[in-house]
Structure 1
Amino acid sequence: MTPAIRLLESQGIAHQITSYELENESESYGLDAARALSLPAASVFKTLLAQLDDDRLIVALVPVDTTLDLKALAKAAGTRKARMAESAVAERSTGYRVGGISPLGQKKRLPTFIDESAMAMATMHVSGGRRGLELSLAPNDLIALTAARTAALACR
C-alpha cells in the first residue's frame, strides 16, 4: 500500500485502484498506463514537478497526451518563469520514483495545479505511487485533498 492509497482510505474518499503490467516500459509512463488499462488518454493525468524562478517546487497535472505549458503554469503560480524539476529533486521531494509520482501522499505538501480539463470529467486517473498502479477518483476529491487550483496548463 502506497502513501497515496493510505491517504485516500484514511479520508474515506471513493476511489478505485488498478494495477497493470508494463510489457515494454517507455519514457511515457502515463501513455503506457492509458494503453494498458484501455483508458482515454485525456482522462489519465501525469504528475509533473516544476521549479519556479524563486526555486519553489510545485506540482502540475496534465493529461498524458499533452505537454505542460510552463509559461501558463508560472502565471497560475504568480511568477514569471517555471522549469521542469530534475528527476532526482522530484523523487527526493515526493518520496516517489519518476514514472510513479502520485499527487497524493507526497513527503512534502507542495502547491498543486491541475489542468482545467479535469473539471469536465466524472473520474480522472492518476498514479497510485508506483509504476503500474493507477488510481481513479473524482476531480473535486483530488482538488480537496491537494488544495489544488485549476488552470489551462496543457498544450496539445
Structure 2
Amino acid sequence: MAKAEKTNVMRLLDAAKITYKEFTYDPETVDGLSVVKSIGEDPEAVFKTLVTENEDKEHFVFCVPVCAELDLKKAAKAAKSKSIAMIHQKELLPLTGYVHGGCSPIGMKKAFPTFIDETAQLFDQIYVSGGKRGFQVCLSPSDLCGYVKAEFADLTKALN
C-alpha cells in the first residue's frame, strides 16, 4: 500500500507535535461548500483562509467558516487598520506560497498577523486547508491559534 502523501502543513504540524487528522477530496474542488460536502462535515467547522491587505499595504490572514462571509469592517477593527481589502488572486501564490483553493494559515512564506473567527472556539476540532488542493487538516482551534500566533475575533457578517 502506498504511503499517504504529506503536505508541508502536515510536516510542520508533525514537527510541532500537534495532533491532527488529514482528509482528502477531489483537488478540482476549490469552493468551500463543495469541500464540506466532500468531507461530510459541519460547514461552520470548516474554515477558509483569506489573505488581505490594509491601507498601508500590510498583509493580514483571516480564517472564517466557509458558510460565512468576512466582514471587512470587523476585519479592519481586529487588525487595527482603517480599511481591509482582499488581495488579488494573482498575488496569492507569490505572497503566501499557496494557490487559490489550497491556502492554509499554516506554513505561509511569511508569518502574517492572523485572526480566526471566534466561532472556532465552539468546536473541539476545526478544519483548515492542508496547504494543497485536495487536502484538509482537522485540529483543535487552540492548537491552530497557538501555532500561527493568531487571535480569535468577531469577523463574520451576520446572516439575515
Residue 83 (structure 1) aligned to one of 79, 85, 95: 85
Alignment of structure 1 residues 1-150 onto 2, 5 Å: 1-21=6-26, 25=29, 29-150=31-152
Question: What is the CA–CA distance in structure 1 between the aligned matches of 2:20 and 2:100, rounded to whole Å?
Answer: 22
Deviation at 1:134? Answer: 0.4
- Contact preservation (8 Å) 1:4, 1:106: no
Write 1 or 2 for the structure with the bigger share of helix: 1
Distance 2:118 2:61 in 1: 14
RMSD: 1.2
> Deviation digits for residues 105-156 of structure 1, max 9, x if unmatched?
1111110000000011100000001111000000000000110011110123
Gap runs ≥5 in structure 1: none
Runs of 4+ aligned structure 1 residues displaced above 3 Å come to none
Cα distance, 1:89 vs. partner?
A: 1.6
**Kept in 1: contact 2:22–2:136 (CA 8 A):** yes
Structure 2 residue ranges without an equivalent (≥5): 1-5
Superposed displacement of residue 25, structure 1: 3.6
Partner amino acid, structure 1, of 2:135? L
**TM value normalised by structure 1:** 0.94
Equivalences, count: 153
Opposite residue 40 of structure 1, the aligned amino acid is D
Q: Secondary structure at the match of 2:44?
A: helix
Amino acid of the residue matched to residue 31 of structure 1? L
Alignment check: 8 A CA contact 1:125 1:135 kept: yes
Any idea what SS the aligned residue of 2:137 has? strand
CA distance in 2, matches of 1:31, 1:8: 25
Q: Structure 1 counterpart of 2:94, which letter?
A: R
What is the letter of the counterpart of residue 73 of structure 1?
A
Aligned sequence identity (%): 37
SS in 1 for 2:95: helix
Q: Which residue of 2 aligns with 1:154?
A: 156
- TM-score, normalised on structure 2? 0.92
